[in-house]
Amino acid sequence: MAKEITILGEKIEPGKSYQIKIDIARLHTRTKIEVPVIISRAKKDGPCVLISAGIHGNEVNGIEIVRQIVANKFNVPDAGMIICVPVLNVFGFLIKTRQFPDGKDLNRVFPGSKNGSLASTFAHVFMNEIVVHADYCIDYHTGGDDRFNYSQVRISKNEEMLDLAKVFGAKFIKYSSHREKSYRESANKLGKKVLLFEGGKSLDLDRYVTKAGITGALNVLDFLGVKKFPANFSPQIESTSQVIFEESKWVRANHSGMYRSILRNGEAIKKGAVIGLITDPYGFFEKKVKATATGYIICLNHSPIVNKGDAIAHIAISG
Ligand SMILES: [Zn+2]
């Protein structure tokens, strides 16, 4: 007999797919806000993989990744169960902001509480109704504002997670400690294996990032035996030379002005090398910005105007 699974009051039968809604809140206009959860369970037992995005409402690239996974039916498993939540923070997505309508960052209120703020209540329902069923979680993010992250996976430092991250296939793998009260921290405490993907920037779609994000999920599903893809299927490890790192360093603007980057995201860089130029708009000065470490560029600020102290580039320090 297959294990009995009930999610948000709905019995999830083997061999069936569901679209259920987390329906916990109304806006001040009395408009009901529903968060669709797409669940697909195989006849055969196996692990449960939870694929989510949009915990920050303006990180649309992740939403597009999960949307494509669903649209292409990659979420229909051969074994186990796949749960997709393309837009966790529907509230923020509606008005293109990172936060919840109560001004809270959803990713800083986990695991939430039953009678807390709107964000906190939502986190509580998500943890207790959805996350609790998962064995593996893939959560998609982008850089904040104009900071464009090269596709990378962030994990806890252990061998099993490293193997999974390698399977995912993004060029960069970062060991990163958990941010307090984040989804990743709370899921980890429940023993879930969490892969956090970072790629692209807010309010932007980038097809290379989308491809890396989808490919990663399919690689993991295939590896776990949840969904098998033919050997000649497009998902392939993106890069044969993956860079694993723990330390990283931001390069900050040494002046205020207009900024031109002269390097490409993802490339290797030596300490002291010029990475960009800051100028005034009148043609009087031009200042070089130099790399403060040797490593790889994993994030570039795309903003053409910077203030002194702004983060311009992020360098992964490997080995
Ligand atoms: Zn995010």
Question: pLDDT for 159-197, tens place per residue?
Answer: 999 999 999 999 999 999 888 999 999 999 999 999 999
Tokens read off for 81: 């169960």
The tokens describing 211, both together, are 């491809």
pLDDT at 234: 62
Between the CA of 207 and the centroid of ligand 1 the distance, in Å, is 18
Residue ranges matching CATH 2.40.50.100 in the chain: 247-318
Name 51's bridge partners. 84, 138
- Give the predicted TM-score (pTM) of the model: 0.96
Distance 198 CA to ligand 1 centre (A): 8
Q: What's the CATH fold of domain 6-224?
A: Aminopeptidase (3.40.630)
Phi and psi at residue 221, in whole multiples of 5°? -60, -40
Q: What is the mean pLDDT of the chain?
A: 94
| Residues whose CB falls within 8 Å of the CB of residue 53, separated by 6 or more in sequence, listed in order | 59, 62, 63, 65, 66, 85, 86, 87, 88, 139, 140, 141
The CA 86 to ligand 1 mean position distance, Å, reads 13
CATH 3.40.630.10-classified regions of the chain: 6-224
Distance between Cα 107 and ligand 1 center (Å): 8
Q: Is the pLDDT score of 100 beyond 70? A: yes
d(CA 312, CA 319): 23
**pLDDT digits over 65-81, tens only?**
999 999 999 999 999 99
For CA atoms 93, 98, 100, 106, give the dihedral sign. positive
CATH number of 247-318: 2.40.50.100
Segment (H or E) for 188: helix 183-189
Distance 67 CA to ligand 1 centre (A): 17
CA distance 109 to 92: 15
CA of 274 to the centre of ligand 1 (A): 29
Ligand 1 centroid distance, CA of 141 (Å): 4
Least confident of 139-153, 227-241, 245-259: 227-241
- How far is ligand 1, taken at its centre, from the CA of residue 300, in Å? 16
**pLDDT 10s digits, 27-49:** 888 888 899 999 999 999 999 99
